[in-house]
Amino acid sequence: MPQQFDVVVIGGGPGGYAAALHGALAGLKIAVVEKDKVGGTCLHRGCIPAKEFLETASVYRTVIGAGEFGITATTNGERPALDFETSQARKQKVVNQLWKGLQGLMKKRGITTFSGIGTLGAGRMVIIDDGTELAGDHVILASGSVPRTIPGFDVDGSIVMTSDEVLTLDRLPESAAVIGGGAIGCEFASMLADLGTKVTILEALPKLLPGCDTDVVDVVARSFKKRGIGVNTGVAVHGHKPNEGGSGTTVLFGDGEELAVEAVVISVGRRPLSSNLGLEGTAVEVDERGFVKVDEYMRTGEPGVFAVGDLVATPALAHVGFAEGVLVIDQILGDDVVPVDYAKVPWCIYCHPEVAFAGYSEQAARDAGFEVVTKKDPYGGNGRALIIGDAEGLVKVIAEKGPDGRAGRILGVHMVGPWVTEQLGQGYLSVNWEATVADVAHFIQPHPTLSETFGETVLALTGRGLHVG
């Protein structure tokens, strides 16, 4: 006899566990089927470990720059010593603590977790590979994604790696080619370069960080160049020739160009993990790239079966997975729900300098037919930025041009610079509340803070900027 649940969730990553925690809190009887560890890519192979290593890089930069504050941390201008094994252990400690907390919370909420690979059967039955059968009034597919690779580059974990392997290294390569200059590529390039690896990015498109505002990308590209990161954009990668003896390889790219490196990091996107869900023969449809097809309420073609997170073709961000999981549970509970507005979700990229944005970039706003007014304010004039010694970057606000030619509704807020991932909140709210520049300019920013630069940019759009004209 199958065990009966209100909701059976396949996959315990951010999409799946958010649904489970939210549903259990509301009194639903929930099962989660997980083949590895709850927490998923985000906790074990993605956001958390990657940001932990980026923090290691930040500490390293701070130590290098300590002399400017009159603090001698290293002698004779030498680089500080890095014991990456210790960094790795610290990262794992953070991950394990969060993992333990999540398991405890799920248990406390009465969620039943099953270990194994779950597949979808007829009539919302979920069959686990050990033969256990679960019957759900509702099923949520949340099996996530895995790194994409490229033909000719077999991932071996020492010469050719994806994000999965980089995050488990106990020593860093002396040199690396990072293929793909998107979010993952830029985060890894930044981290590796700060910690002493000679990094070259090979990106197929004309610019790094496709989708980000050009003014923001230019700041990142300038910073990378200054820190010795090679950036080759608009280049195709053709393959590689591993050195004899098993250490290092030569990457072939562009117009007959070659790059000898110790390691290759492939960061060319992620692909959905839909192939092991047993969807053949069900009414759940999968598109040509493997994404499960859903409507704006995350409903698949099979009644009572939903899909969320990286498995569907929405932004591959943990917090989007959270929102989608909660959206599904609220529908199951019979609440009125508002679909996620994907054009306005917050994006945060944790390379140095950090990038954070919500809403239209200038180009995307123009492409969508808006007439716009924009303003940029650099962090160079911000007191707090100078105090912390990190004033590289800017805030750019894109507003809709009103009939009088003046800036009206805020369409996009784009930031690059110190701690902008922690500063995006105001910009995110402004965009999603459809606030005008006048609405936001009414509010006060505390002084001295980094967030004054956002306030000042908005003030300038009203024509009353204190420092920016």
Residues interacting with ligand NAI, by CB under 6 A? Answer: 150, 179-185, 187, 202-205, 210, 237, 267-270, 315-317, 347-350
Q: Of 238, 442, 447, 467, which residue is the catalytic one?
A: 447
Angle between helices 420-432 and 452-461 (to 10 degrees): 40
Q: Which residues of 186-221 are buried (b: 16+ CB within 10 A; e: fewer)?
A: bbbbbbbbbbbbbbbbbbbeebbbeebbebbbebbb
- Nearer CB in complex with ligand NAI: 208/459: 208
Alpha-carbon distances, residue 134 vs 27, 89, 248 (angstroms): 18, 38, 48
414 counts as catalytic: no
| Gap between the Cα atoms of 174 and 262, Å rounded | 6
> At its nearest, how many Å lie between ligand NAI and the CB of residue 420?
12
Q: Which is nearer to ligand NAI, 139 or 220 (CB)?
A: 220
Q: Which of 345, 385 has the CB closer to ligand NAI?
A: 345
CB-closest chain residue to ligand NAI: 182
The span from the CA of 22 to the CA of 311, in Å, is 20
Q: DSSP of 54-93, one letter per residue?
A: HHHHHHHHHHHHGGGGT---SSTTPPPP--HHHHHHHHHH
Least Å distance, CB 105 to ligand NAI, is: 24
What secondary structure letter does DSSP report for 380? G
* Minimum gap (Å) between residue 233 Cβ and ligand NAI: 9
Which one, 16 or 408, has the nearer CB to ligand NAI?
A: 16
175-179/198-203 β-pairing: parallel
Q: What is the CA radius of gyration of the chain?
A: 24
Q: Which whole-number Å values give the CA distances from 320 to 163, 199, 230, in the listed order? A: 20, 31, 32
Beta carbon of residue 251, minimum distance to ligand NAI (angstroms, whole number): 10
Residues 6+ apart with CB under 8 A from 71: none
Nearer to ligand NAI, 30 or 355 (CB): 355
Looking at beta carbons only, is 346 or 455 nearer to ligand NAI?
346
Beta strands in 116-262 (DSSP E): 118-120, 125-128, 133-141, 145-147, 160-161, 175-179, 198-203, 230-233, 237-242, 249-253, 257-261
Of 221 and 437, the one with the shorter C-beta distance to ligand NAI is 221
Q: Is the dihedral of CA 290, 272, 425, 192 positive or negative?
A: negative
H-run or E-run covering 11: none
Cα separation, 394 vs 52, in Å, equals 24
The amino acid that residue 257 corresponds to is E
Q: Looking at the annotation, which residues are catalytic?
A: 447
